[in-house]
Amino acid sequence: MKTVQGISLDYYIWLSAALFTIGVLGVLYRRNSIIIFMCIELMLNAVNLLLVAFASYYQDPQGQVFVFFIMAVAAAEVAVGLAILVLMHMNTKSIDIKVLNRLKW
Amino acid sequence: MVNSELIIALIPLLPLIGFLLISLFVNRISKSLASLIATGSVLVSFLLAVIIFIKLIGLPVDQRVIQVNIFNWISVEDFSAKISFLIDPLSSLMLLIITGVGFLIHVYSIGYMHNDEASNRFFSYLNLFVFFMLLLVMGSNYLLLFVGWEGVGLCSYLLIGFWFKNKEYTYAANKAFIMNRIGDLGLIVGVILIFIHFGSIEYSSVLQAVSKQGGSEILTLITILLFVGAMGKSAQIPLYTWLPDAMAGPTPVSALIHAATMVTAGIYMVARNNILYTLSPISLNLILIVGLITALFAATIALTQNDIKKVLAYSTVSQLGLMFVALGVGAYSTGIFHMTTHAFFKALLFLAAGSVIHGMQGEQDIRNMGGLRKYLPITFYVFFIGVLAISGIPPFAGFFSKDEILAKAFEHSPVVYGLALLTSLLTVFYMFRLLFLTFFGNARATEEVKHHIHESPKSMTIPLIVLAILSLVGGWIGIPEVLGGSNQVGEFLDPVFTSSQVLLSEHALSRSTEIILMSVVVVSTLILIGVAYSIYVSKNTVPQKENSTLSPFHTLLYNKYYIDELYDSVIVKPLKKIAKVFYRLIEKSGIDFMVNTFGNSIVSGSKFARLLQAGDIAFYIFAMVIGIIVLIATGGLMK
Amino acid sequence: MITAFLIFWPLVASLLVFAFHGYAKPIALAASIIELVVSIVAAVNFISDSSIQYSINYAWIQSAGINFHVGIDGISLLLVLLTTFLIPFIILSSFSINYKNPSVFYGLILLMQMALVGVFVSLDGFLFYLFWEMALIPVYFICLIWGGEDRGVITLKFFIYTLSGSLLMLIALVYLYFQTQGQHSFDIQQLYAAGRSLPVREQGILFWAFFIAFAIKMPVFPFHTWQPDTYNVAPVQGTMLLSAIMLKMGIYGVIRWLVPMVPYGVQTWGESAIVLSVVGIVYASCIALVQKDFKRLLAYSSIAHVGLISGGIFTLSKIGMQGAMIQMLSHGLIVFALFYLVDIIVARTKTKVIKQLGGIRSQAPIFTTIFLIVMLGSIALPFTSGFVGEFLLINSLVKYQLGLGVAAGLTTILGAVYMLRAFQKSMLGETGENTSSFMDLTTREKLVLYPIVVLILGIGIYPTPFLKISEAAVNNLLTIVTNYLALVK
């Protein structure tokens, strides 16, 4: 039985898979930019969870280092992303992504 | 004593220098200086040619060859073309004719062109022509022959279109150049084949190699190709139609280029390569047939022409045909002999015609002439001598050379003899017709013109008189043994034709046959003159005006068998059509269309593809997810 | 060092031109003359054997096996000389025209010169490709900015067409690169070895990849359709660059890269290439017969001439190669002069339709005489440079196969037909309304044309020095190829 801190590794995998799927579905189904944004964060965190779990399981710190990187990148991304959202709201008075369908050709 | 190499090199160089001097300072030197330079350079060349000729005579018969190398022109791998000159009896005879007749025509031109504002240009072209013509006959290899060949073609082009403001003249010039180019292609391919098969283009080595190897199919091909070149330059069927049109040029040009020298280049070429032709009987027969047909064909056309120069032009074509007949039966020196006498009397006739035209203020139609004997006495006499010479009345020059051709033709076959005889009789008829219509009978010119008719200046009449003397005595260098002569010209040229003569079995005619043949010719000639006299002088017949109805045969002749029209509809128009098809169909709607379609299909393809970019972010993300899944899945499959 | 100078001096000069844009014309002219002088120095010090001289081999991108390897042998030298000789005249020819943004214009010409010289001296596949593409950019902008009507579409077509051709060459080069032994390298000798080690099928494929790239540049039938339009729309200096120098890149590519690299492929497919070339000669000559526009006529005549050159090269004979070399030189000079003369006509009469001209000769005798001489060179009259090349090329083709040689020889007849016709319609006859005040050549125009005419006649009368330059290199190249082919069999 593969365990991490007494909890079976399978549970970590299932949990992060569930989180990731929720994130993907959220991105695909929701039109509200903020929620899409949050769903992206959810996916990132699902991956983080998995990385941490496996790092612990293999006793290899590389995975944990990755998590830090991801968190840093995610933070930066949030900064930029929210700035875009603010601008978008200022210009279109909406944060519905359907409004942005002029982003073509 | 200057060495002969320098003299030989100077012969062609002097006219070239003359050309350069005149053309570089064309606007800065006076007319008289230009004509002096041009005439002087040719005169000095002539004197040098005489010196060389005398030197050559001084040598033993079998050593009469001088070769002078100037520099290496093109050399690649085993191909090498030198600028080098070969003087042997054949080329030295040509030198004398070219520079001698050339000089006289230069002198004549001083008078003829003195009113033309562009006479400097005229003289520069004439000098250039003499240079290229000398190169043609002096060159010691086939490529130099070709250089001269094209060079004289260029000068001919420039001089036919000398009065370039007249559209028709420029058409005639283009026609001459292009028709010659067709022949030139044959010639150059022939030369290349010679190089490929004999490894050299020097006459000396090629001729030697050929006489060792004997005949072969490739030799036949080569000789035919070379003869195609001669067809173009010497105006033989089917490439003759440029020559009559070439009369658009000033008359001295017609005399020098289109009668005495350039058009005989083909004769020279065949004579030079006599051994090649002797060894390929097929080509020799081709020459004979083409020569015969051309001679007869052109003579019949000449019967009905009304332009004084056109008659002479067709007569030239016909006489060239006769020369080819001589070559075709293997009588090379006879061909050259006739070429020599022809150079004298035809130049004389052209220049005399020029004098008539000059006196008549540019009138060329013999229907508007008549009775000019009184107005232009010197011109009349010299023209008369020319006519006697070309008709072959003894003891004028044409008699001896023409008689020799007929005798050789008789040796070959009676049919050839018959046709050649017919040609020469036709010649007699149309020449006397020309003479009578021009100088006898009533003066048909308008009063206005009559008032102005005047004999030409001395600079024109003196060359005429010299040429008239030459037309009389020119034939005496080749008096046959039958008449007590020794045929000096034949003997002089013999070394050039030795190897051919060995191969051609000579069965000389008996004395009596020869004399009978001669008398047949002379008697029938005299009868024909009588006929012509009765028609054109006693009955005073004048050719009918344009658009009057003629008999069908007469119409056919008058329109020159419609050959020009035939070429136009068989070659020129189809070529234009093909070109248009190429351009519109294949180029525009074929190749270019395909290229454009290829480009356009990418553009329209991307028009379709960009519909995917609907701007819907959700769709983008969805596509991305699908893409990732596909990537992962295929990645799994790959493993 | 001299090679590096020849490449980079134009670059420096173009920067100078950009910097001091008030003096663009004199700087550009002076710079190109300096370049010419240096190239002449190089030619004078050149030892006429087959070795590669003035070579520089500097490791550039070592990990990828790319070196800055340049050098000059006889074949390169002739083309470098052609380039450095013509560029000053091209610049000089533009002095009477006031282009907008002159500094950009002259800067681009100089950049073009850099790329052209680079192509002719590169001995590294990567470098060659780099310069090859670099040459396209300046001329594209020259045509696009200063061109005539419809320039956008036409220059785009030209650009894309030639670029896609180059793509095939890039693929072939990279493929060969991966065939090199040991650490992969773009060095020319390594690529040669790699190409020659391939079996005939692959050599054939590579042959076509290279050939199409070069054929588009030359252009050889049926890859020529970009050319007439581009020549027509480009400003005359652009046309000169394209026709007089740039198309030689394609021919040079065949000689330097294609033939020694995949000799077996060349031998197998050479006949098809020759047939294409000969078809192109007759085809383009025929089309030139019915052109109404002077520039288009010259464009098609250029296709015919280039077809002859390409045909001669693929006979793989020394006569053909040497003929091609001398004909490249001659064609460069003649086509430059012809386009310049036609441009003078267009500038003075505002028309390039042949029929609307006429009678120029009586107004401008010197102009007409120059035109006549250049035209005679173009139709290969003896004692002009055109004859030497054309004779050698036809000679090689006749030797290869009589029928092909005769068909190629038709160009001498058809060429005479369309050139004389154009000459007659534009220069001879009565003066028309367009030509009634046609001015004769100005001093500046004479300054451009006289040296060219002197060279056209000079090469025609005494071609030996020019033939000598490339002789050893061509010899060497063909010896290697024949030895290889003998070995393969």
Segment B445-466, tens digit of pLDDT: 777 777 778 788 888 888 888 8
pLDDT single digits (tens) B38-67:
999 999 999 999 988 888 888 887 788 888
Q: Alpha-carbon distance B537 to B544, whole Å?
A: 16
What are the Cα distances from residue B332, in Å, to B95, B339, C22, C134? 18, 11, 74, 65
What value, to the nearest 5°, has the Cα angle with vertex B20 and ends B16 and B25? Answer: 155
pLDDT single digits (tens) C416-441:
999 999 999 888 888 888 888 888 88
Q: Are C272 and C265 in contact (CB under 8 A)?
A: no
Burial of residue C167 (number of CB atoms within 10 Å: 0-12, 13-18, 19+): middle
Q: How high is the pLDDT of residue B547?
A: 60
- C306 Cα to chain B: minimum distance (Å): 18
Q: How high is the pLDDT of residue B168?
A: 87
Q: Alpha-carbon distance B453 to B447, whole Å?
A: 10
Q: Mean per-residue pLDDT for C48-75? A: 88
Q: Mean per-residue pLDDT for C213-239? A: 90
Q: Are C286 and B575 in contact (CB under 8 A)?
A: yes
Residue in chain B nearest C420 by alpha carbon: B174
Residue type, B466: V
Measure CB to CB from residue C362 to each of B77, B165, B596 and give the nearest one.
Answer: B165
CB contact under 8 A, B618 and A97: yes
Supply B436's token pair: 């009578």
pLDDT single digits (tens) C286-299:
999 888 899 999 99
Counting as contact any 3 or more CB pairs under 8 A, the partners of A are: B
Q: How high is the pLDDT of residue B70?
A: 86
In the predicted structure, residue B296 carries a pLDDT above the cut 80: yes
Q: How confident is the model at residue B493 (pLDDT cuts 50, 70, 90)?
A: confident
C residues 404..423 contacting B (CB < 8 A): 405-406, 409-410, 412-413, 416-417, 420-421
Percentage of chain B beyond pLDDT 70 is 97
In the predicted structure, residue A1 carries a pLDDT above the cut 70: no
Q: How high is the pLDDT of residue A103?
A: 63
Q: Alpha-carbon distance B534 to B541, whole Å?
A: 9
Measure CB to CB from residue B76 to each of C286, C318, C365 and give the nearest one.
Answer: C318
Q: In 3D, which of C438, C330, C432 has the Cα closest to residue C374?
A: C330
In the predicted structure, residue A100 carries a pLDDT above the cut 90: no
CB contact under 8 A, B72 and C464: yes
**Higher-confidence position of C403 and C48:** C403
| Chain A residues in contact with B628 (beta carbon < 8 A) | none
pLDDT single digits (tens) C164-219:
899 999 999 999 999 888 888 899 998 999 999 999 899 999 999 999 999 999 88
Q: How high is the pLDDT of residue B1?
A: 43
In the predicted structure, residue B546 carries a pLDDT above the cut 80: no
Supply B502's token pair: 């060995």
Percentage of chain C beyond pLDDT 70 is 100
Average pLDDT, chain A: 88
Provide the angle, in degrees to the nearest 10, between the axes of the packed helices C464-488 and C263-289: 130
Residue B83, beta-bridge partner list: B71
Q: Alpha-carbon distance B515 to C379, whole Å?
A: 53
B residues 125..184 contacting C (CB < 8 A): 143, 146-147, 150-151, 154, 157, 161, 164-167, 170-171, 173-174, 177-178, 181-182, 184
Give the three-state DSSP class for B102.
Answer: helix
Residue in chain A nearest B625 by alpha carbon: A24
**Higher-confidence position of B1 and B206:** B206
- What is the value of ipTM here, to two decimals? 0.91
CB contact under 8 A, B617 and A97: yes
Any CB–CB contact under 8 A between B583 and chain C?
Answer: yes
Q: Mean per-residue pLDDT for C326-352? A: 91
B residues 598..627 contacting A (CB < 8 A): 610, 613-618, 621-622, 625
Residue B563, beta-bridge partner list: none
Peptide bond before residue C219 is cis, with ω within 30 degrees of 0: yes
Q: Alpha-carbon distance B242 to B133, whole Å?
A: 19
Give the three-state DSSP class for B176.
Answer: helix
Counting as contact any 3 or more CB pairs under 8 A, the partners of C are: B
Phi/psi at B365 (5° precision): -85, 120
- B568 Cα to chain A: minimum distance (Å): 59
**Count of helices and strands (H, E) across chain C:** 22, 2
Q: How high is the pLDDT of residue C41?
A: 93
Q: How high is the pLDDT of residue B623?
A: 86
Measure CB to CB from residue A28 to each of B613, B615, B625 and give the nearest one.
Answer: B625
In B157-285, beta strands by DSSP E: none
| DSSP 8-class letter at B482 | G
In the predicted structure, residue A72 carries a pLDDT above the cut 90: yes
CB contact under 8 A, C399 and B170: no
Peptide bond before residue B238 is cis, with ω within 30 degrees of 0: yes
Q: Which domains are present in chain A?
A: 3-92 (1.10.287.3510)
